[in-house]
Structures are given as structure tokens and as C-alpha cells.
Amino acid sequence: MVINKKVNNFGSCLLMKSGAASVTATTTMRNYHTTNSNKKVVPFLLADIGEGITKVEVVKWFIKEGDHIEQFQNVAEVMSDKANVEISSRFDGVVKRLCYNVGDIANVGAPLIEIEVADSTASPSSAGAATSSSSTVEVAKTTSTPSCAASSDIAEESFGKILTTPAVRRIARENNLDLTKVPATGRNGRVLKEDVLSYLENPTKQQSEKVAVPEQTSTATTTTSTPSTPTVGDRREPVRGLMRTMIRTMNAATKVPHFGYKDEVYVDNLMIIRSHLKKTAERQGVKLSYMPFIIKAVSLALKEYPILNSSLTEDESEIIYKGDHNIGVAMDTPNGLLVPNIKSVQNKSILEIAAELNRLQELGKQGKLGANDLKGGTFTLSNIGTIGGTYADPVLSIPEVCIGAIGMIKKTATFDAHNNVVPKHIMYMSWAADHRVVDGATMARFSNLWKEYLENPDNFIVALK
């Protein structure tokens, strides 16, 4: 699971290779053109956004062709497999061309847009251009640089027999359209946006043009067939962004031997304490749920059982005990499952944990969780009870060695020591741990201590320093 950070593209804007004195006018036209003597149109390259990202999906344009933009102004939002990033302009100028449609895949280092800038703005050091005579930079108005064209070709993906762009696939998906039925007019059989729109306007005509019906010869007998009911065709979608990260994480988890442990927690006393503190929290602008108590109880138990806040090195030669309790909370966001974490829980009060949880939840709803919110987790909790269900089998988030899934709270009839029926509120809990590092007895003792804090919240006061 959307993440947001601003990246200023201070990378070079490649115009022509240096030492290009012998380059012909035709070659020059493909890489560089001007509109008048004191302005240049330069390709604005998508800068490296870090963490080894090489491809991103264009999520949103904040500008359009013809707009005047300023330095540091946001021009686009892109999505990698780790974060959503707002790209800001390196130059002041006029947008001449957007190199991608929304939904296209853009390569880091490739042109993102073309901007008309003052001649002095795009210096050789920033644009990677060599000086040229005026005769070598003349260009026809209808000529366009191949920087965008090359980029759009990269963005097109072929699945099966259909060659088109993700943006066209999105239009087809929204209209329940099988692209195999659309006559393709693009290069190499590519289905263009115009093809889809034309088909949607008159599908019968398009279909008849696509398939030529041969003349039937007369036969002695005639046969009739019952029209078949149209069926919905298969659909393929590329795996991108956060889904790709989830696949990698889940594949890594399957290689680790882990075990599960489940228990029940009586939370009647916790419900009373929360009720008393809820108004105090509201006066401070904080929404207080059960999660801050659960998170703090985990941290207190981790002090006694630090092995559960550790990780195993890749060569399995060392165990790294983490100094901070950075407890992740799985969130169902518009961009998928994300696990931001609350940093240094061991140093935070319950209200401070609640405030930070509120902040992360709000950013998650807006799709603006930052990379710093998502990295550095040491322990994970997933609150499936808000959706439904009691027990679960959570999957480890490698390299963490433990994860907990919180089930719903149910009012249940129980028996006291004298066999009297006593209604109690029970919360269901499911743990999973890396069996290479954690044994079953340690997991059970950790869970018992965590459970003790929640069933007897007064113990929080004794444990806090």
C-alpha cells in the first residue's frame, strides 16, 4: 500500500551529444529545435527518484500543453512500486508537449515533457548540449522531437496479440470492451485511442469492416444456427506499483519457515479505560481507538522479549536486535495495502501513539503516505477485525520475525469460577513468527505478557517510565 514526496528534477536535459559539429541538419532536427532566436525547446528528463526505481506509472498531470510553468512547480504525479511522487519542474517556461498519457509507463532518465525555455536557461551543463550554429538548428514547425515519441513507444505494452497503451486499455476496461474486436489502425497492428472511440460510437459498422464476409454459394440444403450469447473475454493487466511490491514480499515470506499462535483477550477493562480517556483525547484533537493501547502493549512486551523485534541477516549468520520499536500498522488504502509504521513507540505515550496513528491514517486515505512513513518497520500489526473475522493466518513481512492479526471484539457468554454465566468482550488474536529465530514457547510468553497489559490496563501505569 499512496505515498507522496516531492522530487526536483535537477538531472541533465539531453539535447545533443557534445562534439556534434559534424551532425547533419536532419539529425539535429530530431534532437533539438527552437521557436525563435532566444528560446529553446528542451526535453525535461524524469530524474532518478531513488531506491533503485527505473520505471514509474504516470498517475496525474497537473499541467497541460500550452501552460506556463515555473521552477519547482508540480507538473505530474507518478507511481512507483514503493511510492507516489510529485515531480516538480526544473525550469520556467511553456509546456510544448506531454510525452505520456495518464496510465503510461515512463522510464527514469527519459523525457517526461518538452518545455520552451529562454536560451540562457538550458545551459550546456544542465542540458548536455554542445554549441551549434544557427543554420543547424532550424526546424519546421510540424517537426517534433523523437524524445517523446520514443518514450511513448516504450510505454506501450503488448499482452497476447493486442498491442496498445495502458491508457487505451483503461478506456476499454471502463466500457467493458474486448480489444480483440477493435480494428487496429496503428503501426504494427497497434490499437489506438481513436480506434477504440470510433468502435464505441458504431461497433456494428466497425465489426463489419474488420471481418469481410465471403459470398455464400448455393447448396442443396440450408442450415440454421442459433445465435450464441456474447461472452466477456479474458482481460490482462500489467502488474505495477504496490502490487509488484506485495508479490515480492509474499514470495520472500514463503521461503521462511514460520508458525502460528492464537489466543483470546478479555477487553472489558480496556473498554472502560478507553471510554474514560476518549474525551481527554478529543480535547487534544486526537481520536482514540483501541489500537494505540494494543500497539503500546506490544512495545512493553518487546522490552521483555527483544528477540521478536529482531531480524536475521541474509546470510543467516547474525541476528540484529533493533533498538527502536517501529511498529507497522497495515492499512487498506485507495492504493492498496500499505504498512506505515509508528517510529520509536517505546518512547511515546498512548496519546502520542494515537496522534501519529491518526496522521498516518489520514495520509493513507489521501494517498499521500511518504517513503519515510513506510520504511524502517520492525514489527507489524494488522487489524482485520474492523472488516470482519476472528482468527487469521498473517504472513510475515520479511525481514521482520513477527506479525500479529487482530480480530473483531465479540460479546460472549463465559463461565466464572462458580460456573455462573458471565458476559465478556473477547478480542481474538493471531500471531505468526519466524521459526528460525523464534520458538513457540517464547511466542506464547510474549503473547501472555501482551495480553496481561490489555486485560489489566492499570499495569500500563506501572510499566511506563
Cα–Cα distance for residue pair 394/401, rounded to 1 Å: 12
DSSP string, 312-380: E-TTSS-EEE-SS--EEE-EEETTEEE--EETTGGG--HHHHHHHHHHHHHHHHHT---HHHHS---EE
Cα 204 to chain center, whole Å? Answer: 39
Cα–Cα distance for residue pair 117/95, rounded to 1 Å: 9
Cα–Cα distance for residue pair 291/265, rounded to 1 Å: 14
Cα–Cα distance for residue pair 42/115, rounded to 1 Å: 5
Cα–Cα distance for residue pair 12/87, rounded to 1 Å: 15
Q: Please answer whether residues 419 and 391 qualify as being in contact, where contact means their C-beta atoms are separated by less than 8 angstroms.
A: no
DSSP string, 414-439: EE-TTS-EEEEEEEEEEEEEETTT--
Q: Please answer whether residues 87 and 75 qualify as being in contact, where contact means their C-beta atoms are separated by less than 8 angstroms.
A: yes
Interstrand relation of 379-383 and 157-159 (parallel, antiparallel or unpaired): unpaired
What amino acid positions are annotated as catalytic residues? 435, 439
Tell me which H or E stretch contains 179. Answer: none
Amino acid at 131: T
Write the CB contacts of 454 (distance below 8 Å, at least 6 apart in sequence): 265, 267, 270, 293, 294, 297, 427
